[in-house]
Structures are given as C-alpha cells and as structure tokens.
Structure 1
Amino acid sequence: MITTPASLPTAGAFRLSIARLVPAAAMTLATALALSGCQTASTDDMIKVDREQGSEQNIASLSSVINSNPTDPEGYNVRGSAYGRAGQFKRALDDFSRALQMNPKFYQAYANRALVYRNMGKQAEAAADYNMALQINPKYDVAYIGRGNLYRQAGRIDEAFNDFNRAIQLDTTDGRAYHNRGLIYQKRGDHAKAIEDFAKAISLSPNSPEPYNGRGISYIALNDDDNAFADFNHAIELNGSNAESWANQALVYERRGDMARARKSYSHALQLDPKYTPAKDGLARTRGAS
C-alpha cells in the first residue's frame, strides 16, 4: 500500500493482484488434496501492470508536483508508485531511492521499493527493504504481509505464518493477511481454521474471487461439495476470466459424476489459460469418461 498526501494528485496505490489458487490435478479433488498437501498458491501482492499510470500526461502531472517541491520525498514516492504500476521498474526504484535519500525513515517507501524488487525477482533486496521498514515501524502491517509472501515463496512456511499472524494481531484491514494465513492452515490440514480465515478475507475484500476459491477447496477437503460449489460459482461471477475458478467448478462436477459439464468447464478454463495444467489433466480424465 502506498501512502499519498492529500496535496498530491494521486497515482493510486500499486494495484494488487492475487496469485492464482491452483487445485491439484487428480481423479478427485479429495485425492488431490491428500497428494498435494493442499498446496495452493497464496494471495500475493505482485504489481498488476497498468500502462495508463505511466502515460505521459500522468507522469508529467506528478513530475510537476516534484518540480514545485523538489525536497518533498512524498512526491517521489507517489511517482514511483505510478512507474511501478506502469511496469517501469527501474524508474520506480530510482524514485523510491531518491525519497529514501531525503527521508531515511520513510518506511512506506522501503515497502514500496521492496515490492518492486519482488517483481524484478530480486528477493534478497526485497527482504532487506521489508526488514528496514519493520525496523523503523514494527507495527507496519503491509511490510509483514509482503515479507510473509517472500518467506512463503522460499518455502519458509512457519516464518510466513508468523508474519501474517503478526499483521492480523495489529488489526490489519488487509484481507491478504487472513487469506495467506488461511492457505497455510489449509496446507497444514486445519481446514476449519482455514475456512474461518477465508471468510474474514471475504468480509474485507468481498469482490475478490480468490478467497472464495480458497474456501471452496477447504470445503471440498471436508466433503462439503455444496458449499464448495457455491464458492467456486461465486468466484466465477466475480471474475469470469479466472481459469482456476472454472477448473475448480469442473472438479466438483467431476466428483458428482457429471462429466459433460466437467469437460465444458475444463475446456473453458483452457481457453482462458491454455497452459493451465490442472485443466489439461482434468479434460484428459473426463474426455474418456462416459
């Protein structure tokens, strides 16, 4: 999350996209969960590129603010966010670094720069910036969530859990903390707690399909196909271009023995993402079924 002062024309916070929740491919989802240990991807905070944020008009407007007050680090922080959302990561880094030169205690700029480093695959640099943000402000929930995702990607699940838990203890209103902790509960086989966390994530971010997918997978693990199906269908209503939601729906059809509908949903998932392996495997299974 990027903090912008009211006096600045907003470039908006980095638009946060959520990494895909991937159901494992197996004859049934219950079997898949057992085989994979419920390894679904996490709600992530990677930058969703928005080229309009890098338009000449928008950047010119932000640059004019900087020119009017060149010693204010907030201006560079905001323009850095615009560059980041436009996918111009080098320029974003330059602006965040400039802001930090002016104000070494600017913990939001450290977290913003960490997010850009993550998008560039520079995990060590990202971790260092998240650590610095938390050293300056130990109550900054955004940095705990970002660092937790770094830990998760590195397979350091217990440390990731601790960071998400800490953000929640700080009364975060960011649904990613609950969603990510729910996915760890899911991985550990504690589906009751996972469902509680997904429900909280949904209450904080009701228009995001991913918590519905996550909760649906835990419902399936508890053999509650009806609630799972309702969640997957709602995820599709929220975002019909999400291949994972369609593949999840197909798996419920498959469990019910409705192979025709399962094939249709798997096929639609593949139209949306031709490289999505669970849909490929599901279609291969159901194509030969009666």
Structure 2
Amino acid sequence: MIVSTAERRTAMRGFALTAALLSGLALAACQTTPVGQLANIDKAQGSSENISSLSSVINSNPRDPEAYNVRGSAYGRSGQYQAALKDFNTAIQLKPDFYQAYSNRALIYRFLGDQQTALADYNRAVQINPSYDAAYIGRGNLYRKAGQTQLAFNDYQKAIQLDTTDARAYNNRGLIYQQQGQHKFAIEDFSTAISLAPDASEPYNGRGLSYLATGDEQNAFSDFNMAIKLDKKNAEAWANQALVYERRGDKQRAAKSYREAIHLNPNYQPAKDGLARVS
C-alpha cells in the first residue's frame, strides 16, 4: 500500500518503543541477509544435477547469454560465487545491455563484500532499464546495510511505485518505518508483504514488533507464533515470543523460548539478555 506524502508528514515522529526491552529486538529485526534476484531461484536449481543440465545447454549453444545468466544464478544459490561471477561476466560480454545479469552479479559482489562494485552494477542495471524493480530492491538492501537509510527508502519506494509484486520491497520499507517509529505505516507494509508472500516468516516477525510497540500484545503474539510456524529456525521470532511471555509474567515459557533462540543463534544478545532476566 502506497501512502501519500501528506500522510507521511502527519505520521508518528520519534515514536519510542514502549519498553526498553524492545529496542534490541527491533534493531535485530532490521538486519537481514542480502537477498536479490537470486532469491527468486528455487534452491533445487542450485543442485549439481541442475547445474550439469544447464552446462549441457551452454555446451550446445555457447553464445547464449540467457543460459549463462541462469547457470550463474544456480551457482550463486549453491554458494559457488566465483563460478557465478564468471558466468555473469560472460553473459554481460555477450549482451552488454543485460540488466538482469548486472543485478545478479551485484548480489554476488555483495556476498563477497565488494559493496562498491555491487553498487556500480546496480547503478548500471537501472541505467539500462529504469523500470527494473529487482535492481532497486537489491540496491536498497545495499544502502540499508550501509546505514544510508534515506537512499534505501527511496529505492524501495521506487520499486513500489513500479507496482512491484516482490514482497521484499514492502517488508524492507516496513523495517525502515519501524526503525523511525512510524509503526502504523510499518504494519501496513508488513501486511502487504504478507499478502504477497504468505509463507515468508520475516514480515510476520516485523509486524509483530510494531504491534508490540503500539501496545497490541495479542496481535504481536499471534504474529510471532506464525513466524515460528513458518520458520522454526527464526531465532528473532523465538526471542520475541519469549518477550511476550516475559511481559505476561510466564517466566518458564519465556526461558524455554529464549533458550531456543540462543540454540539457533548463540550470539543473539537480546535472547541472552532475556534469558538472564527470567532465570
């Protein structure tokens, strides 16, 4: 849902999270792993069998840039980043205006920690095709990770204005609204993300935090439970569920959920702090 400029101007400003306990959890919810065009490639497509099949296609037609782009995506999904780069480079050499390959290659550079080269590739992708939503979302993720929140917001906004059906644009813009304390808009964005990707855990976890910040504990609890149901390895959702139990005075269930969060992510400080409080 796109909100008007007037609505944004009248939005909540500087809304502090309702409890100090929430601050660490809300920040943690803003940390997501790099995702981009490769996220749309099914994990099975990164299998050795699929890569072998794609290699046969390339051997039959070594001048096909599309084949290199698809195999590069498969290599990326399997974690073979150098092989992925090689294929994206070949795809771009064969088709210099191949904006999808630029965007895909940018994501690989992000995984490898080369943020400047990734930014140059995203810039090139949107220069070639100003309507390519995936590149705006990928670049927005890069900006957000670098702490350039306004630039990230602008890119998510652009993707949404292009009528993207990619839930990440709404989810990640929602995270920015949440960070700014604009929880009404955050909830709207998370809800849209859920409608576009109902099997994704992250929007439920994000929306739950904003519900909790606005005092809607029951809806928050329902969202954290759904996030866990969709992804039992979501440490943040377990910790957030534990926080609700803690607020309700149920220290036993809170401790159990905090322990599960720590089991999944031993370095997750909000869970460790929470367990110390209820133990």
Using the size of structure 1 for normalisation, the TM-score is 0.84
User: How many Å apart are 1:52 and its aligned residue?
Assistant: 7.2
1:71 to 63, 75, 80: 63
Match of 2:19, SS?
helix
User: How many Å apart are 1:77 and its aligned residue?
Assistant: 0.6
User: Following the alignment from structure 1 to structure 2, what is the Cα–Cα distance between the partners of residues 169 and 67?
Assistant: 40
Which residues of 2 match residues 70-149 of structure 1 at below 5 A?
70-149=62-141
| Kept after mapping to 1: 8 A contact 2:140/2:153 | yes
User: Following the alignment from structure 2 to structure 1, what is the Cα–Cα distance between the partners of residues 215 and 240?
Assistant: 14
Residue type at the aligned position of 1:229: F
2:46 to 50, 53, 59: 53
User: Following the alignment from structure 1 to structure 2, what is the Cα–Cα distance between the partners of residues 171 and 165?
Assistant: 10
Give per-residue Cα distances to partners, 1:231-270, cap 9 Å, x unaligned: 0011111112221111110000111111111111111212
User: Following the alignment from structure 2 to structure 1, what is the Cα–Cα distance between the partners of residues 85 and 206?
Assistant: 33
Which residues of 2 match residues 1-290 of structure 1 at below 5 A?
30-33=19-22, 35=23, 38-39=26-27, 40-46=29-35, 53-55=46-48, 57-287=49-279
Flag as ranges the 4+ runs of structure 1 deviating above 6 A: none
User: How many Å apart are 1:32 and its aligned residue?
Assistant: 3.3
| Kept after mapping to 2: 8 A contact 1:37/1:187 | no
Q: Identity, % of aligned pairs?
A: 63
Distance 1:205 1:234, change over 3 A: same
Give per-residue Cα distances to partners, 1:102-121, cap 9 Å, x unaligned: 10100000001001111111
Instruction: Give structure 1 stretches of 5+ with no counterpart.
Output: 1-27
Aligned length: 258
User: Following the alignment from structure 1 to structure 2, what is the Cα–Cα distance between the partners of residues 212 and 104?
Assistant: 40
User: How many Å apart are 1:45 and its aligned residue?
Assistant: 4.0
User: Following the alignment from structure 2 to structure 1, what is the Cα–Cα distance between the partners of residues 31 and 242?
Assistant: 21
User: Following the alignment from structure 1 to structure 2, what is the Cα–Cα distance between the partners of residues 37 and 44?
Assistant: 16
| Kept after mapping to 1: 8 A contact 2:183/2:213 | yes
User: Following the alignment from structure 1 to structure 2, what is the Cα–Cα distance between the partners of residues 267 and 91?
Assistant: 39
| Kept after mapping to 1: 8 A contact 2:157/2:173 | yes
Give per-residue Cα distances to partners, 1:175-195, cap 9 Å, x unaligned: 000000001111111100000
User: Following the alignment from structure 2 to structure 1, what is the Cα–Cα distance between the partners of residues 100 and 24?
Assistant: 37
User: How many Å apart are 1:43 and its aligned residue?
Assistant: 4.8
User: Which one has the bigger helix percentage?
Assistant: 2
| Kept after mapping to 1: 8 A contact 2:18/2:215 | no
RMSD between aligned alpha carbons?
2.0
User: Following the alignment from structure 1 to structure 2, what is the Cα–Cα distance between the partners of residues 37 and 281?
Assistant: 11
Instruction: Give structure 2 stretches of 5+ with no counterpart.
Output: 1-16
User: Following the alignment from structure 1 to structure 2, what is the Cα–Cα distance between the partners of residues 153 and 188?
Assistant: 16
| More displaced 10-residue stretch of structure 1: 116-125 or 58-67 | 58-67
Residue type at the aligned position of 2:46: Q
Using the size of structure 2 for normalisation, the TM-score is 0.88
